[in-house]
């Protein structure tokens, strides 16, 4: 599309409205102010045009990605931000093995970053959560502390984007059916694989060994997946 013309009406008046609106966007983009445009009535008055002509120009700029409009929210400069994925919808379209594959892609990296960035207090928190996993009185309590341990490793990585992805993945995990439920009133056995594996991850993090931490997390998740699909 020629950016100087409107798609349905190339009348000089419409082209002028579009040009004036472009200039306004440039001014607002340079200013350190709110990137939301005035409402249609105020904007039409400011430009000295009818609201009908203004809407045509707004549509062109929206198609170009120069602005976006949200119902009940207003009109904003710039491309429309990506919508946050719906965890329930993702869960309905996936399965436990795919979830484990996603965890395998993200969590070893988080463990490696935690080995570089975790504070002493965060490492102490990881050790305490590992201890609580070992002394959990039942499977539900163990799974609570296990999930919290993995979340705290993600927090200790100090990477906002990866943490957001992890939180989304956690929401999906909670909605996916993982097979037969754990027996009520029974606690994990003392030789449960995750106890040693958790300690190996935390030991590598506390000794600031990112590669070792990432590999330890990868081995841990592989064991979980093997048991999930009956390979172990």
At residue 2, the pLDDT reads: 40
CA distance 193 to 220: 8
* Ranges 104-113, 163-172, 214-223: which has the least confidence: 163-172
* Ranges 33-37, 145-149, 167-171, 210-214: which has the least confidence: 33-37
The pTM of this model reads 0.64
At residue 12, the pLDDT reads: 57
Residue 87 reports pLDDT greater than 60:
yes
* Ranges 7-16, 60-69, 214-223: which has the least confidence: 7-16
- 200 pLDDT band, cuts 50/70/90, is very high
Q: Where does the chain have alpha helices with state H?
A: 12-30, 40-47, 51-63, 87-92, 96-117, 120-134, 139-156, 160-175, 193-206, 210-229
Q: What is the mean pLDDT of residues 59-79?
A: 82
At residue 129, the pLDDT reads: 95
Higher pLDDT, 66 or 155: 155
Domains and CATH numbers, the chain: 12-77 (1.10.10.10), 87-229 (1.20.120.530)
Q: Apex CA 179: angle with CA 176 and CA 183, to 5°?
A: 120
Long-range contacts of residues 182-186, Cβ cutoff 8 Å, at least 24 apart: 182/138, 182/139, 182/140, 182/143, 183/139, 184/138, 185/138, 186/138, 186/139
CA distance 149 to 27: 49
Residue 225 reports pLDDT greater than 80:
yes
In a 3-state reduction of DSSP, which class is residue 3? Answer: coil
- 32 pLDDT band, cuts 50/70/90, is low
């Amino acid at each position: 599309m020629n950016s100087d013309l409107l798609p349905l009406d190339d009348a000089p008046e419409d082209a002028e409205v579009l040009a004036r609106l472009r200039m306004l966007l440039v001014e607002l983009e340079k200013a350190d102010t709110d990137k939301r445009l005035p409402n249609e009535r105020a904007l039409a008055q400011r430009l000295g045009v009818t609201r009908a002509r203004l809407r045509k120009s707004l549509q062109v700029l929206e198609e170009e990605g120069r602005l976006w409009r949200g119902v009940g929210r207003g009109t904003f400069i710039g491309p429309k931000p990506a919508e946050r994925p719906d965890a329930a919808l993702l869960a309905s379209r996936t399965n436990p093995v795919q979830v484990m594959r996603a965890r395998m892609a993200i969590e070893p990296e988080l463990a490696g970053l935690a080995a570089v960035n975790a504070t002493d207090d965060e490492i102490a928190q990881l050790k305490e959560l590992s201890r609580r996993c070992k002394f959990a009185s039942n499977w539900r309590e163990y799974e609570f502390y296990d999930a919290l341990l993995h979340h705290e490793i993600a927090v200790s990585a100090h990477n906002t984007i990866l943490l957001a992805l992890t939180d989304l993945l956690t929401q999906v995990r909670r909605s996916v059916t993982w097979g037969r439920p754990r027996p009520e009133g029974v606690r994990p056995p003392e030789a449960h694989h995750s106890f040693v594996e958790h300690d190996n991850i935390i030991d590598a993090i506390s000794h600031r060994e990112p590669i070792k931490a990432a590999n330890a997390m990868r081995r841990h998740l592989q064991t979980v997946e093997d048991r999930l699909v009956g390979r172990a």
